[in-house]
Amino acid sequence: MKKRSVRLFAALATATALAAPAAWADLVVPNFSYRTGPYAANGAPYADGFNDYFTLLNERDGGIGGQKIVVPECETSYNTEKGVECYESLKGQNPVVIAPVSTGIAYQLIPKVSADKIPMYTPGFGRTSAQDGRVFEWVFNAPTNYWDGASIAIKYLLDEHGGDLNGKTIALLYHNSAFGKEPIRTLQELSKKHGFKLTEIPVDPGSSQEQKSQWLQIRREKPDHVILYGWGVMNPAAIQEAANVRYPMEQMIGIWWSGAEVDVTAAGAAANGYKAMAFHGAGQNYPIYDDLKAHVFDKGLASQGGPHIGTVLYSRGMHSAMVTAEAIRKAQELAGTDAVTAAQVRDGFEALDISEERLAELGLTDFSPAIKTSCEDHGGSGMARVQQWDASAKAWNPITDFYEPDNEVIDPLIRADSEAFAKENNITLRCN
C-alpha cells in the first residue's frame, strides 16, 4: 500500500511538473510548429529559426531585459483543428504572444485572441485586412501581407514590361485554400487598373502533386506570366510541371511561401531562373550569425541539430522571432517593467520602430525592410523584393530592391474588408 502511494505521488508530481507553466517571471512565446505531416519540409526550418533566435537572446543576453524567454513548442501539423487545440492548451501558460504560422489557424484564432487579450503575430500570412489596427486590435501582420505581395509582383512585372501590362495575360496558380485565395481580389483590381487579363487557376490541396490539367491549360493559353501562390508540395510540383511543359522559369514569380529551397530542389537544374518575392534575406552572410555560432551552434544548442541554418524558411522563422523580441523590448520600455504581460506586449507591437539602424545593431543589416507600426497600421511598410534561384550555386539571389506595394489599390480594399468585419462583429473603430 505504501509502495503504491509512493508511486502514485511520484506519478502525480511528474504530471504536475510537466503541466506546470513556466516560472512566473519567464516570458512565454509559444512556437506553433509543424514538423510532421504534408507541410513538414516547410514547417521544420521555420520552427528552427524561431527557436534559435530566442536561444541566442537567452544565451547571450540572458533573455530580454533580464527576462528569460521560454519557447514551448506545439505541433500543429499545419492542421487548423490541431492549431486551435495548441492555442487552448498553451493559453494556461500565459503566453505574451501567439504566432500560429498558418493562415487557416490564424483565421480561427482572431476572435479567440481578441477575447483572451493576447496579441497574435502573423508576418506575411493570415488575414490581410488585420493590418487595419482600428478593427483588429490584437492582430499584427507587419512587415507585409498577401495583397502587398500580389501588388509587388505586378509592380515588378510592370518594370519588366516598361511600365505597361496592357493586353498581357497573367495566370494566378493558387492553392485552393484560405491562403491561396487571398490575392484574387487584389489581382482583379490590378487587372482593371493595368489592363492585363487575369486567369485564375486553382490547385486542390489534396491533389497538388498532380497538376497536369492546370499546366496543360497554361501550355494552351500561354500566359505571359504565372504568379504562384502555393505551399507545401504544390510548389515543387508546379515548378517541375512548368519545366515539363517548357514554360520559361523567368516568367514565373511566386509569393514568399513559394520561394524557398524546398520548392526548387526537387526540380534540380530545371528550376534555374525561377523568381519569388521575399521580405527578408537568406543565407549566413549577416553579422548575427557570428553570435549565433558562438552562443548557439557551437554550444550544440541549435534547434534539431541545425540542419536548416541559413535557409529561406529558417531565416523567416528568425525574422518572426526578431520582430516579436523587439515588440517585447518596446513593451518593457513602455510599461517600465521587464515582466511584461500579453496586453503590454500588444502595446509594444503597436509602437514598433525597427529602423535600419536598429537592424544593423541586431546584426541584420539589409536583412529586411524597416518596420514601423501605429494604432491604425499593424502592417508596416508592406515592402518585399524579388529574388531569383540560381540552381548551379543553389542560392537565392535578390535581383531588386525592396518594392513598396500599390497602396492606392490595396488601402481601399483593406478598409472595405476590415470595416465589413467590424460591422459583422459589432466592433467600434479605434484610434480616433
Give the interface with other proteins as residue ranges (CB under 8 A). 35-41, 44, 176, 200-204, 206-210, 212-213, 216, 219-220, 232-233, 236-237, 240, 243-246, 262, 265-268, 270, 300, 304-305, 307-308
State which amino acid sits at residue 189: E
Q: How far is the CB of 44 from other proteins (least distance, A)?
A: 5
The distance from CA 392 to its chain's CA centroid, rounded to whole angstroms, is 27
Q: How far is the CB of 308 from other proteins (least distance, A)?
A: 8
Compute the residue count for the chain.
Answer: 432
Sheet with 169-175, edge to edge strand ranges: 197-203, 169-175, 225-229, 252-254, 275-278, 385-390, 395-398
Of 150 and 239, CB closest to other proteins: 239
Of 179 and 402, CB closest to other proteins: 179
Q: How far is the CB of 54 from other proteins (least distance, A)?
A: 20
Q: How far is the CB of 430 from other proteins (least distance, A)?
A: 36
Q: How far is the CB of 254 from other proteins (least distance, A)?
A: 15
Of 202 and 287, CB closest to other proteins: 202
100 three-state secondary structure: coil
Q: How far apart are CA 232 and CA 181, in angstroms?
A: 16
C-beta neighbour count of 398 within 10 angstroms:
14
Tell me which residue of 147, 143, 97, 130 sits closest to 359, measured CA to CA.
143
The distance from CA 427 to its chain's CA centroid, rounded to whole angstroms, is 26
User: CB under 8 Å, gap of 24 or more: what pairs does 83-90 form?
Assistant: 83/32, 83/108, 83/109, 84/108, 84/109, 84/112, 86/30, 86/32, 87/32, 87/112, 90/28, 90/30
Of 312 and 322, CB closest to other proteins: 312
Of 2 and 246, CB closest to other proteins: 246
Dihedral in degrees, nearest 10, Cα atoms 291, 297, 301, 305: 150
Of 55 and 208, CB closest to other proteins: 208
Of 202 and 363, CB closest to other proteins: 202
Q: How far is the CB of 393 from other proteins (least distance, A)?
A: 16
Q: How far is the CB of 71 from other proteins (least distance, A)?
A: 18
Of 295 and 308, CB closest to other proteins: 308
Q: How far is the CB of 211 from other proteins (least distance, A)?
A: 9
Q: How far apart are CA 202 and CA 199, in angstroms?
A: 10
Please list, in sequence order, all residues whose beta carbon lies within 8 angstroms of the beta carbon of residue 204, skipping any fewer than 6 positions away: 176
